[in-house]
Chain A
Amino acid sequence: MFYREAGQFKTTYAADMAMFPVLQDRIGIIAVLLVAFVILPLVGNDFLLNAVMIPFLVFTLAAIGLNLLTGYTGQLSLGTGGFMGVGAYACYKLTTIFTDVNILLCVIASGFFSAAVGALFGLPSLRIKGFYLAVATLAAQFFLQWCFIRIPWLYNYNTSGAIEVPLRTLFGVPITGPTATPATRYLVVLTMVVAMTWFASNLVRGRIGRMWMAVRDMDIAAELIGIRLLQTKLSAFAVSAFYCGVAGALMVFLWYGGAEAEVFDVNQSFFVLFMVIIGGLGSLTGAYFGAALIYILPIVLRTVPAMLGVSLRAATIEHLTFMVVGALIIGFLVAEPMGLARLWQIGRQKLRVWPFPY
C-alpha cells in the first residue's frame, strides 16, 4: 500500500533511466544518507564507527570493485587482495614522497596505479576464460604479495616490513594518524564510498556497463555488435582495480593506521569474493549487503554467546563463526543463488502488493 508506483509516470527517458526512478526509493535513500551522514557521527560510539562502519564501507568499496569485474563483466578474479595492496603501498609511497600533497589526492592517485597493474594482469583475459582466468589472477595475487615483502623500497626500508601511517590533515583537521578521530575518518570514508558508488552506478547504467554485461553474457555476440573484447575486458580490470586500490588505501590510512603484507593475502581476495557472491553478482546494492553480512555478521556472532549468557573461549567463537559463515554461504546459494540483492528485489515486489499476498 505504501510502496506503489501507481501514479508515477515518467515523461522523459532521462527520468526513466535515473538511478532511483521510484519515489519511495528516493525517499528511502535520502533517509539512509541522512542517518549515515548526520545521525551516526553524532550518536555513534567509537566502537561502532571504528570497528563496524568504517571497515564495512571499505569492504563495500572493494566489493563494488570486484563486482564490476566479476559480476558485471564475468571475469572471475582472485587478485583483489593484491590490487588493494597496490593501492595501499602506492598511497604510502606517494604521501611519503610528496608530503605536502593532500592525502585524498594521494588515495585517488594510488587508485590509478592499481588500475594500471590491474589492466596489466588483465591482459591474459583475452585468451583465457572462466576458471582458468581465476588461476591467472592468483598468479597476480601471489606475485604482488611477494613484491610487498621483497621490495623494501615500498615500505621505506622499515626494518619490521610494515608501513605506518603518518599524520595527514584535511582542511586543518587530522584525518590519518593517531590523532584523527573516528568520526572524522568515518565521514571521509563515507563521502568517498558514496561518491564512488554514484560513479559506478553511472557507469553500469550507460554504454560501458552494457558493454561489460554483453561480454559477460555472450562474448561472441558482443563482438558481433562491434564491441572490442580486449579493450572492454581491460577497462573492467582497470576500473575494478581502481576501486580495490582506493579501498586498500582507505583501509590502511583511515582504518588500520598501518599495514603488513599479510593483510593483502589470498584470504583477503576470497573474503571480498564471498561478499560479492552472497550480496549478488552484478548488483551494486548487493555489494553493500554482502559486505554487511560477511563482515558484520561475525562481529554479531561473537557477541551472541555473551548475550545468551553462555561463556565460550574466544577461539571457539572464532571457529564457530567460520562454520556458521560457511554454512550460510551454502545456505544462501541454495536458497537464492542470485544473492541478497535478489532477495531484496523479491522483498520489494512483495511490498508493492502489500497487504495483498499477490
Chain B
Amino acid sequence: MLIWAWRIEDFELDLIYKIFLDPFVQMASAPDLLVQTLWEGLVGGVLYALIALGFVLIFKASGVFNFAQGIMVVFAALTLVGLHERGVPAFLALAITVGVMFVLAFAVERLVLRPLVNQPDIILFMATFGLTYFLIGLGELVFGGDPKIMITSDLYLPKGAIDFKILGGFVSLQKIDIAAAIIASLMVATLAIFFQKTRIGRALRAVADSHQAALSVGISLEQIWVIVWFAAGVVALAAGIMWGARSDVSFALQIIALKALPVLILGGLTSIPGAIVGGIVIGVGEKLGEFYWGPLLGSGIESWLAYVIALVFLLFRPQGMFGERIIERI
C-alpha cells in the first residue's frame, strides 16, 4: 500500500513539475529565446489584430458581424498580386486594388445590406457566410488556387533581419515584422482618431447603436455602410500584404482569419484599441503556449489554444475585456 501511494506521488509530482515549473525554468534559462518567442507572438498578434480591426469597423458601424472579413483579406492580397503578375506596376496595382475594394464595398451594400436592412443580426451574419463562399469561388476562378508570393520588394517593404545581442544570447527581428507592427499601429491610431473626433466617425457610432434612430436624425445609412466596408477593405488589404509578406498568399489564410474571433472576444467587438490588445494577448499567449507547453501535449496546439484562451476568458467576463456589459432589462 505504502509503495503504491509513493509511486502515485512521484508521477503527480512529475506532472506538476512539467506543467507549472519546467516551462518557467526554461524561460529563465534561455532569456533570449523567451524574448524571441515573445516577439514572434507580438508580431503574430499584431497581424491578428489587423484582421480583427476589420471586423470591429464593420460591427461598430453596421452591427453586422462580417464573417467574410477573412476572405476579404485573401481576396485583396490576391488582387494585388494577380494584377502585378499580369504586368501592372506595383503601386498602380495597389491603387487599383484599393479601387476594387471600394467597388466590393459598394456591391455589398447594394446587394446584401440594403435588402436585409431590418433583419435580425443572425440573418446578416449568415449572409456574410454566403458572401464568403461567393468570394472564395470568385477568387479561385479569377486568380487560381495556387499559393502566390507577395510583392514585398516592389512595394518597398524591407527584407532581411536585424540581429540583437542581448541577455546572453541573440534575438533576430525580421524587418518586415517591424514594418508590420509600425503600419498596424498607424492604422489603429488613425482609425481611433477618426471614430472619436470626426463627424463621420460619430455618425458611424450612431448607426452601430440603432439603424432606425440614426435614420431618424438624417444619417444616410447607405453612405455610412459603403464607407465602413471600404475602410474594412483597406484594412483587409493591409493585413493581406503583411501576412502575405511573411508567408504566401493562399486560401488557407481564410482559416487563419478565424483566429481573429478569439481576439474579438478578448478585445470586445466594438473596441478598436481592444482589437490590438486582444490581438497581442492572443498572439503572445499562443506562441508561449505552443513553445513552452506544446511539447507536453504534442505539437499543433496552436490550432485550438487561442480559442480555449478566449473561452476561459469568457467564462469570467462574458462580454470580453473591453466590451460593454450586457444589461438585460425586463
- Chain A residues with CB under 8 Å of chain B are 76, 124, 127-129, 131-132, 135-136, 138-139, 142-143, 145-146, 149-150, 220, 266, 270, 273-274, 277, 315-316, 318-330, 333-334, 337
Contacts and interface: CB of A to CB of B under 8 A. Distances in A.
Interface residues of B, number: 48
Interface in B62-121: 65, 111-112, 115-116, 119-120
13 contacts: A135-B264, A135-B307, A135-B314, A145-B303, A145-B304, A150-B297, A150-B300, A277-B126, A322-B133, A322-B134, A326-B131, A330-B127, A333-B119
A139 B303 contact: no
A128 B304 contact: no
Contacts of A318: 140
B126 A323 contact: no
Contacts of A139: 304, 307-308, 310-311
B134 A330 contact: yes
Contacts of A131: 65, 125, 269
Which of A220, A323, A326 has the largest count of B CB atoms less than 10 A from its CB?
A: A326
A273 B129 CA distance: 10
Contacts, number: 124
Contact of A138 (B115, B134, B261): B261
Contacts of A328: 130
B122 interface: yes
Nearest to B71: A326
A320 to B, nearest CB: 7
Tell me what chain A mostly uses at the interface: helix, strand, loop, or mixed: helix
B137 A320 contact: yes
Contact of A323 (B112, B122, B134, B265): B134
Nearest to B309: A139
A180 to B, nearest CB: 34
B258 interface: yes
Given A322-B137, A326-B130, A329-B129, A76 B122 contact: yes
Given A138-B307, A266-B258, A330-B127, 4 more contacts: A128-B315, A128-B318, A139-B311, A326-B132
Given A142-B303, A142-B304, A330-B111, A321 B127 contact: no
Given A139-B311, A142-B304, A334 B136 contact: no
